[in-house]
Amino acid sequence: MASGCRDCRTCTKSLLGRTGRNVLYTVSLSWLVKPVFLRNCPQCGHVLRRHQRRGDGSFQD
């Protein structure tokens, strides 16, 4: 017996369609959440934790 109903558009969507939708949701969510929770470099836009730092904590240029 199928887990979904046969008339629902969501239940009858193909595996490729469901996977694509999940990937789209994940990518869009991470794209929206990243600027809010992670600090980015104002110069290059990359995440600050990826920048090299000196022993005193300042950034290497």
Q: What is the pLDDT along the chain (61 residues), one digit of tens a residue?
A: 356 677 787 778 888 988 999 999 998 888 887 777 888 777 887 787 777 777 786 766 6
The model carries a pTM of 0.46
Question: Looking at residue 52, what is its pLDDT?
Answer: 77
CA distance 46 to 39: 9
CA distance 39 to 47: 6
CA distance 22 to 10: 12
